[in-house]
Amino acid sequence: MKTTKLILNSAVLIALVVPAAFAQQSGSSSTGSSTTQPTVQHRKKNQQDRIANGIQSGQLTAGETKKLETKEASVNKEEAGMRASNNGKLTSADRTKLQNQQNRLSKQIYTDKHNAATQHNGNGLVGQRKENQQDRIANGVRSGQLTAGETAKLESKQQGVNRTEAGMRQANGGKLTAADKTAVNKQQNKASKQIYAKKHNAAKQ
């Protein structure tokens, strides 16, 4: 009788302790995996998403985006060279170097998104058109339809449109004449075609 009772108590104790120990082990292993450093590809995707969000929110100006994406394109080019010289793979030293470059770029993204400079689209049809172009570019960055190099070129053109508009307003007391609006719209038509072409070509991020 005592032996049976002892066996039953031991069985109950095992039933309680084993699942708890297993759960603790599972939890510790998942904690360890959460500290795993992101891969080079995940890091690149994260940076592009942050830039896309900055474009769409207006935290990043066309000029700031152009500079950031030019740097991103340079990192991508360097990575491609590393892979080409090592049968498509990255060495540990390559990954460390790319990670350091992305760390610097990450800080620059943060700085540009939190400084005083913001994208001013303005009101009216001209402002709506500028905002629409930026949204299309942001969507292309986020989806990977636009490479970093393509984005840099598109934002360089948007920066040019912004400068043209600013010059027109300065020459006319802050306003745009009917002729000014027509000229800016023509520039945006050209930029719009280029956005479409680059989003629908074979190049992907």
Residues 6 or more apart whose CB falls under 8 angstroms from that of 74 comprise none
Per-residue pLDDT for 14 more than 70? Answer: no
User: Given its phi and psi angles, is residue 201 left (phi above 0), alpha (psi -120 to 50 degrees) or beta?
Assistant: beta
What digits encode the pLDDT tens for the residues 79-106?
999 999 999 999 999 999 999 999 999 9
CB atoms within 10 A of CB 117: 13
Mean of all residue pLDDT scores within the chain:
85
pLDDT at residue 89 in the model: 92
What digits encode the pLDDT tens for the residues 22-55?
344 433 333 344 455 678 889 999 999 999 999 9
pLDDT at residue 121 in the model: 78
pLDDT at residue 131 in the model: 93
Predicted confidence band of residue 152 (pLDDT cuts 50, 70, 90)? very high
pLDDT at residue 124 in the model: 85
User: Given its phi and psi angles, is residue 118 left (phi above 0), alpha (psi -120 to 50 degrees) or beta?
Assistant: beta
Please name the residue ranges forming H helices in the chain: 2-34, 40-57, 62-84, 92-113, 124-143, 148-171, 178-199
More confident of the two residues 119 and 54: 54
pLDDT at residue 18 in the model: 43
- pTM above 0.75? yes
Predicted confidence band of residue 7 (pLDDT cuts 50, 70, 90)? low
Amino acid at 67: K
Distance between CA atoms of 111 and 98, rounded to whole angstroms? Answer: 20
3-state SS class at 19: helix
